Protein backbone atom coordinates (compact mmCIF):
# COMPACT_ATOMS: atom_id res chain seq x y z
CA UNK A 1 0.00 0.00 0.00
CA UNK A 2 1.45 3.33 -1.02
CA UNK A 3 0.78 6.71 0.48
CA UNK A 4 1.08 9.47 -2.07
CA UNK A 5 2.10 13.05 -1.47
CA UNK A 6 -0.90 15.38 -1.22
CA UNK A 7 0.07 16.94 -4.54
CA UNK A 8 -0.77 13.79 -6.51
CA UNK A 9 -4.28 13.44 -5.10
CA UNK A 10 -5.61 16.13 -7.35
CA UNK A 11 -4.81 14.18 -10.51
CA UNK A 12 -6.58 11.09 -9.25
CA UNK A 13 -9.46 13.30 -8.17
CA UNK A 14 -10.02 14.59 -11.68
CA UNK A 15 -10.71 11.08 -12.96
CA UNK A 16 -13.13 10.43 -10.17
CA UNK A 17 -15.22 13.62 -10.36
CA UNK A 18 -17.69 12.32 -12.96
CA UNK A 19 -18.63 9.39 -10.73
CA UNK A 20 -19.52 11.45 -7.69
CA UNK A 21 -23.03 11.47 -6.32
CA UNK A 22 -23.92 14.99 -5.30
CA UNK A 23 -24.38 15.56 -1.59
CA UNK A 24 -27.58 17.23 -0.39
CA UNK A 25 -27.71 20.93 -1.24
CA UNK A 26 -27.75 21.95 2.41
CA UNK A 27 -24.32 20.39 2.91
CA UNK A 28 -22.89 21.98 -0.21
CA UNK A 29 -24.07 25.39 0.95
CA UNK A 30 -22.48 24.87 4.31
CA UNK A 31 -18.98 24.29 2.99
CA UNK A 32 -19.20 26.20 -0.28
CA UNK A 33 -18.40 24.93 -3.76
CA UNK A 34 -16.81 26.16 -6.93
CA UNK A 35 -13.64 27.57 -5.45
CA UNK A 36 -12.51 24.78 -3.18
CA UNK A 37 -9.76 22.66 -4.67
CA UNK A 38 -11.10 19.59 -2.84
CA UNK A 39 -14.82 20.47 -2.92
CA UNK A 40 -15.89 16.92 -3.83
CA UNK A 41 -13.72 15.29 -1.18
CA UNK A 42 -14.98 17.78 1.40
CA UNK A 43 -18.59 16.92 0.61
CA UNK A 44 -17.83 13.21 0.85
CA UNK A 45 -16.21 13.76 4.26
CA UNK A 46 -19.05 15.97 5.46
CA UNK A 47 -21.59 13.34 4.55
CA UNK A 48 -19.60 10.61 6.30
CA UNK A 49 -18.86 12.59 9.44
CA UNK A 50 -22.37 13.95 9.81
CA UNK A 51 -23.74 10.51 10.67
CA UNK A 52 -20.59 9.36 12.45
CA UNK A 53 -20.53 12.37 14.74
CA UNK A 54 -24.03 11.57 15.93
CA UNK A 55 -22.89 8.12 17.06
CA UNK A 56 -19.63 9.49 18.47
CA UNK A 57 -21.35 12.13 20.61
CA UNK A 58 -24.10 9.73 21.71
CA UNK A 59 -21.82 6.90 22.78
CA UNK A 60 -18.82 9.06 23.75
CA UNK A 61 -16.31 7.18 21.62
CA UNK A 62 -13.99 8.41 18.93
CA UNK A 63 -14.37 6.84 15.49
CA UNK A 64 -11.70 6.91 12.82
CA UNK A 65 -10.61 5.69 9.40
CA UNK A 66 -9.27 6.78 6.04
CA UNK A 67 -10.74 8.40 2.94
CA UNK A 68 -8.99 7.05 -0.14
CA UNK A 69 -9.18 6.32 -3.86
CA UNK A 70 -9.60 2.65 -4.64
CA UNK A 71 -7.84 0.93 -7.54
CA UNK A 72 -10.63 2.09 -9.91
CA UNK A 73 -10.16 5.70 -8.82
CA UNK A 74 -13.39 5.81 -6.79
CA UNK A 75 -13.47 7.77 -3.55
CA UNK A 76 -14.15 5.52 -0.58
CA UNK A 77 -13.95 5.48 3.19
CA UNK A 78 -12.75 2.62 5.36
CA UNK A 79 -15.24 1.22 7.87
CA UNK A 80 -15.04 3.40 11.00
CA UNK A 81 -13.00 1.90 13.81
CA UNK A 82 -14.26 2.52 17.33
CA UNK A 83 -11.65 4.03 19.64
CA UNK A 84 -11.71 5.27 23.22
CA UNK A 85 -12.95 8.62 24.51
CA UNK A 86 -9.61 10.26 23.62
CA UNK A 87 -7.98 7.99 21.07
CA UNK A 88 -8.60 5.93 17.97
CA UNK A 89 -6.45 3.73 15.76
CA UNK A 90 -7.50 3.71 12.09
CA UNK A 91 -6.91 0.66 9.91
CA UNK A 92 -5.33 1.20 6.49
CA UNK A 93 -7.44 0.16 3.47
CA UNK A 94 -6.39 -2.86 1.42
CA UNK A 95 -7.76 -1.73 -1.96
CA UNK A 96 -6.25 1.75 -2.04
CA UNK A 97 -4.39 3.40 -4.90
CA UNK A 98 -3.89 6.61 -2.90
CA UNK A 99 -4.96 7.71 0.55
CA UNK A 100 -6.43 11.19 0.52
CA UNK A 101 -7.05 11.80 4.22
CA UNK A 102 -7.52 10.35 7.66
CA UNK A 103 -10.82 11.03 9.39
CA UNK A 104 -11.89 10.93 13.02
CA UNK A 105 -14.37 12.27 15.53
CA UNK A 106 -13.78 13.65 19.03
CA UNK A 107 -16.50 11.90 21.05
CA UNK A 108 -18.75 13.89 23.43
CA UNK A 109 -18.01 17.21 25.10
CA UNK A 110 -15.33 17.05 27.77
CA UNK A 111 -14.55 20.29 29.64
CA UNK A 112 -11.04 19.00 30.38
CA UNK A 113 -10.16 18.53 26.72
CA UNK A 114 -9.49 20.89 23.88
CA UNK A 115 -11.79 18.93 21.61
CA UNK A 116 -13.02 21.77 19.38
CA UNK A 117 -9.55 21.84 17.78
CA UNK A 118 -7.53 19.06 16.17
CA UNK A 119 -4.83 17.96 18.59
CA UNK A 120 -1.15 18.61 17.92
CA UNK A 121 -0.80 14.82 17.54
CA UNK A 122 -3.66 14.78 15.01
CA UNK A 123 -1.87 17.29 12.80
CA UNK A 124 1.58 15.77 13.27
CA UNK A 125 0.22 12.30 12.44
CA UNK A 126 -1.30 13.45 9.14
CA UNK A 127 1.80 15.40 8.21
CA UNK A 128 4.12 12.49 8.92
CA UNK A 129 1.97 10.24 6.68
CA UNK A 130 1.82 13.05 4.06
CA UNK A 131 -1.98 12.84 4.00
CA UNK A 132 -4.75 15.31 4.77
CA UNK A 133 -7.16 14.92 7.67
CA UNK A 134 -10.82 15.49 8.55
CA UNK A 135 -12.02 15.81 12.10
CA UNK A 136 -15.46 16.36 13.64
CA UNK A 137 -15.93 18.00 17.05
CA UNK A 138 -18.63 17.68 19.73
CA UNK A 139 -19.54 21.31 18.94
CA UNK A 140 -20.37 20.17 15.39
CA UNK A 141 -17.33 21.61 13.61
CA UNK A 142 -15.64 19.96 10.64
CA UNK A 143 -11.90 20.61 10.39
CA UNK A 144 -9.66 19.92 7.41
CA UNK A 145 -5.93 19.46 7.87
CA UNK A 146 -4.15 20.34 4.64
CA UNK A 147 -0.87 18.44 4.41
CA UNK A 148 0.50 20.62 1.64
CA UNK A 149 -0.34 23.96 3.26
CA UNK A 150 0.64 22.64 6.71
CA UNK A 151 -2.45 24.03 8.43
CA UNK A 152 -5.88 23.05 9.71
CA UNK A 153 -8.99 25.05 9.01
CA UNK A 154 -12.68 24.79 9.75
CA UNK A 155 -14.71 23.79 6.71
CA UNK A 156 -17.88 24.10 8.71
CA UNK A 157 -18.34 25.90 12.04
CA UNK A 158 -20.14 25.59 15.36
CA UNK A 159 -23.18 23.28 15.22
CA UNK A 160 -22.77 22.59 11.49
CA UNK A 161 -22.70 18.81 12.02
CA UNK A 162 -24.75 16.88 14.56
CA UNK A 163 -23.53 18.27 17.90
CA UNK A 164 -23.47 17.57 21.62
CA UNK A 165 -26.13 19.88 23.15
CA UNK A 166 -24.27 19.91 26.48
CA UNK A 167 -21.55 21.98 24.81
CA UNK A 168 -22.53 25.63 24.52
CA UNK A 169 -20.21 28.26 23.22
CA UNK A 170 -19.78 31.90 24.09
CA UNK A 171 -19.95 33.75 20.74
CA UNK A 172 -17.26 36.16 22.05
CA UNK A 173 -14.72 33.41 22.50
CA UNK A 174 -15.00 31.12 19.51
CA UNK A 175 -12.06 28.89 18.50
CA UNK A 176 -9.86 30.21 15.70
CA UNK A 177 -10.94 29.14 12.23
CA UNK A 178 -7.40 28.37 10.97
CA UNK A 179 -4.39 27.07 12.88
CA UNK A 180 -0.89 25.89 12.06
CA UNK A 181 1.15 23.65 14.36
CA UNK A 182 2.77 26.55 16.23
CA UNK A 183 -0.54 28.29 16.92
CA UNK A 184 -2.06 25.01 18.03
CA UNK A 185 0.82 24.33 20.42
CA UNK A 186 0.33 27.80 21.96
CA UNK A 187 -3.43 27.27 22.34
CA UNK A 188 -2.82 23.85 23.90
CA UNK A 189 -0.20 25.22 26.32
CA UNK A 190 -2.56 28.02 27.40
CA UNK A 191 -5.44 25.63 27.98
CA UNK A 192 -3.39 23.28 30.14
CA UNK A 193 -1.20 25.94 31.82
CA UNK A 194 -2.77 25.65 35.28
Which residues lie near Zn ion (CB under 5 A)? 119, 122
Of 8 and 186, the one with the shorter C-beta distance to Zn ion is: 186
Please compute, for residue 162, the number of CA atoms within 13 A of its CA located in the half-sphere on the CB side: 16
Work out how close the CB of 89 gets to Zn ion at its nearest, in angstroms, rounded to a whole number.
12
What does residue 83 show for φ and ψ, rounded to 5 degrees?
A: -105, -150
List CB contacts of 174: < 8 A, sequence separation 6 or more.
157, 158
Of 122 and 126, the one with the shorter C-beta distance to Zn ion is: 122
Q: Which of 53, 46, 115 is nearest to 87 (CA)?
A: 115
Work out how close the CB of 71 gets to Zn ion at its nearest, in angstroms, rounded to a whole number.
29
What residue is closest to Zn ion based on CB?
Answer: 122
Work out how close the CB of 3 gets to Zn ion at its nearest, in angstroms, rounded to a whole number.
19
**What is the bridge-based pairing of β-strands 75-77 and 142-146?**
unpaired
Work out how close the CB of 47 gets to Zn ion at its nearest, in angstroms, rounded to a whole number.
20
Asked whether 77 and 104 are in contact (CB, 8 A), the reply is no
Of 41 and 122, the one with the shorter C-beta distance to Zn ion is: 122
Of 70 and 124, the one with the shorter C-beta distance to Zn ion is: 124
Work out how close the CB of 6 gets to Zn ion at its nearest, in angstroms, rounded to a whole number.
19
Of 122 and 146, the one with the shorter C-beta distance to Zn ion is: 122
Asked whether 107 and 135 are in contact (CB, 8 A), the reply is no
Residue 107 CA to residue 171 CA, distance in Å, equals: 22
Amino acid sequence: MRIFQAKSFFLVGLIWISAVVAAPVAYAQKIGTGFERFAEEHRFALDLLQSLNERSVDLNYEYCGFIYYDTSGLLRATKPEKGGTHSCLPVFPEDSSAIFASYHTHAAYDPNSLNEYPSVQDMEGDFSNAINGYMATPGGRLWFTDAQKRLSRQLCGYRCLVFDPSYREDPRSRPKTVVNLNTLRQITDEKFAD
